[in-house]
Amino acid sequence: MTSRALSVRRAPHRRRRLLLGLAVALVAALSPAGVAPPAQAAPTLLSQGRPATASSSESAGTPAAAAVDGNTGTRWSSAFSDPQWIQVDLGARATISQVTLAWEGAYARAFQLQTSDDGATWTTVHSTTTGTGGTQTIAVTGAGRYVRMYGTARGSAYGYSLWELQVYGETGGSTPACGSANAAQGRPATASSTENAGLPASAAVDGDTGTRWASVASDPQWLRVDLGSTQTICRVVLTWEAAYARAFQIQTSADGNTWTTVYSTTTGAGGTQSLTVTGSGRYIRMYGTARATTYGYSLWEFQVNTTGGGSGDPSIPPTDPRNPNLGPNTYVFDPSTPTSTIQSRLNTLFTQQEMNQFGPQRYAVLFKPGTYTADVNLGFFTQVAGLGLSPDDVNLNGHVRVEAFWMGGNATQNFWRSAENLSVTLPAGVTVERWAVSQAAPYRRMHLRGGQNQIQLWNGGDGWSSGGLMADTRIDGLVVSGSQQQWYSRNSEFGNGWTGSVWNMVFQGVVGAPPPHFPNPSHTVVAQTPVVREKPFLYVDGTGEYRVFVPALRTNSTGTSWYGKTPAGSSISLSQFFVVQPGTSAATINAALAQGRHLLFTPGVHHVTEPIQVNRPDTVILGLGLATIQADNGTVGMRVADVDGVKVAGIMFEAGTTNSPVLMEVGPAGSSASHAANPTSLHDVFFRIGGPHVGKATNTLTVNSDNVIGDHMWLWRADHAASGVPTGWTLNTADTGLTVNGDNVTMYGLFVEHYQKYQTVWNGNGGRTYFYQNEMPYDPPNQAAWMNGSTRGYAAYKVGDGVTSHQGWGMGSYCYFNVNPAVVADRAFEVPNNPNVRFTNLVTVSLGGVGTINRVINNSGGTANAANQQVYVTAYP
């Protein structure tokens, strides 16, 4: 007998008072004070006398049944620990409208009321963390056969104790029908093995009956799908290829470790099998034990149907910050991973992605803090990043490099990849690291160790590269630009300086930058960065928890944010993020945002048919592996409200085949609030109109909010042929890349190319652009098709006629009118004549002399054409 039970028996007067209070309270709960209840059908008490069970009982004298016996002198009480629960089986499904809890002195401070159809999968219909005990009458909306009180925090040192648990409602509700939606489609899938890289687990849940998963030829083998949250599973449909299972089980699990078999057979016949099952779990798998052929197991599709039940909101599962599901295309290594395993994975990814610039595959390779030996050769749509708080927390002995083998040394198409938050020590005897890239390939928050080393920004031979970014980076040795045509370096440190120049090299806040000189060499040097926030990044803390670090805003800064110092900023647990998997609807994403969650997009193409709406200040949206948001059916991809401090980073936006008015909008039209103290910032945000398919969008990015910071963006329309890419003046249609209507907007490293009207339109005052790179559209069929009234063509950079203050540094525009070389652009930059609208160091280029840019800015500057391919203007006005 416990000491608490003895104390209760020694205080009979206390119990009498409780019983009297309970009787009064139960009557009062049914009728507001002083008011006679209206004549209406009252909900029925459904729980009395029904079977009840509990997680525990304090003693044999306080069973679960005592809380539903209608006797206010008996009670259920639990063991003295958290959590604990009591549930009642109503015998049939019912619509629940009210629950009354009559607590003994040992009450719940935090608890949920939950319903279920099967006693296994629960939906929360009421939740509180401020329970006060006494008698609580709670109106709820829900349905189920089972109802339970689930206590998570006690209000006393004792257990939980209820005199009565009363459930009111109406019987006769129907059990939910088995749905037809495929809950497995697009969800993360893993397998015990794959026959080869072309038959991955994900192919069985992609909704495409022409792709399949296949295992190696041995037993047993399995295919597992993560549904994202606990689901009530009612049907599994297996579409087998010829290599099917003769014996297999369908199994479910809550944690991916402990499995329950919900279907089993030893006489599988292959073909398409539709299996009725009863079970629940977050994970479901086909576990094959005997093959019907000499090959492995092979499934065209693995479909899962549910009744829609789940724990809480099934579409917005919690994120485990110590074991997050970062998707099947994210590979996380730690120092215990064998070097051969790491290198094999890296080699496989590079072989697949070296030339795969328009495929849907996206990958992230992440290294936990420690030391590794690896040669990281990056192909398209691959991100390599360290998971330390400092780049020096992860050191790779080897390389993190980009070559141009696939184009014979020409790196002008080495786009869409990134290296971040790592340090690199080159192998003994090697002194050259190569980062031969063009647009959308940031080298950010990196440390190349060794003062004797150099990083080459081209292939080191006769090829070319054309535009990149180095930011928040430390190079102990020398940076050699070689034939790199243009480059932007910001807030970095070059131990042995920089050598090289072609058309447009811009250095801002860089320690070790070359002396300012323009145009030969074409070095534009800006001593400080006026206001910037570095890109947020994922890391693992000392306890093993995944977190996102959000660097602080810096003003008038030079050098890195981390080398030789503690980075300033804030840290957010990944538990506060909704991890978005491909196939997640925009409605679900918006529901997560409405709950106050940040977003982490896993590698892949994320299709949306309504805008992602970001309304909450300081929301962080971070993509891994150049995660891509495709705007389908003519929708807008993302809208950001006119609020403080939103950060969007590592995301690509892609147009669908139906025209969108705009792909991303920051602030609604007419936004006017000042965000100077906490601006919204966009980091490594890229846009693509066309490429893998025909794409259409009138505008690409519109910035209406004030004080927005753009930190490296490439806005691109597909206008010239590549393998398998549909191009043409009337196919991939897009008027304008960037439109800025907000005031005091700053762009660092802005690349805008190939749009059919103005590339950039800037209507806000106080704008600043540091480094601008543009190519005009290649494909106007003739001059008549590309006229702006009486003006030939459209300027690459248009500052609105009403603007009274604007500045630009290190800006270039190029033409290559290969469809019709007779086409002329009257000017590259078109701006109001105002002493406060100023430009420093401009260049125009006729690439190979194919086409003409008649003037650089307004009516100033010479003509770029076949006879004079580069023209420079050092200052305007």
Peptide bond into 530 cis (omega under 30): no
- The answer for residues whose C-beta is within 8 angstroms of residue 610's C-beta and 6 or more apart is 586, 587, 590, 635
Scored b (16 or more CB within 10 A) or e, 556-566 reads ebbbbbbbeee
Nearest to 178 by CA among 237, 226, 94, 238: 237
Cα dihedral: 552, 556, 559, 564 (round 10):
-60
Please, are residues 599 and 592 in contact by the beta-carbon 8 Å criterion? yes
Please, are residues 561 and 567 in contact by the beta-carbon 8 Å criterion? yes
Dig out the tokens for 771 from the structure: 């480094």
How many whole angstroms separate alpha carbon 378 and alpha carbon 599?
26
Nearest 5 degrees, angle CA 105-CA 144-CA 147? 15
Scored b (16 or more CB within 10 A) or e, 33-66 reads eeeeeeeeeeeeebbeeeebbbbbbbeeebbbbb
Please, are residues 868 and 848 in contact by the beta-carbon 8 Å criterion? no
Please, are residues 254 and 281 in contact by the beta-carbon 8 Å criterion? yes
For residue 586, the SS3 value is helix
In the chain the first and final C-alpha atoms are separated, in Å, by: 93
Please, are residues 285 and 207 in contact by the beta-carbon 8 Å criterion? no
- For residue 180, which amino acid is it? S
- The answer for residues whose C-beta is within 8 angstroms of residue 100's C-beta and 6 or more apart is 26, 29, 135, 136, 137, 138, 164, 165, 166, 168
Q: Which one from 104, 241, 753, 775 is the annotated catalytic residue? A: 775
Neighbour tally for 745: CB within 10 Å:
26
- For residue 639, which amino acid is it? R
Respond yes or no: is residue 170 known to be catalytic. Answer: no
- For residue 837, which amino acid is it? V
Please, are residues 486 and 773 in contact by the beta-carbon 8 Å criterion? yes
Q: Residue 51: enclosing H or E segment and its boundaries?
A: none
Residues identified as active-site = 775
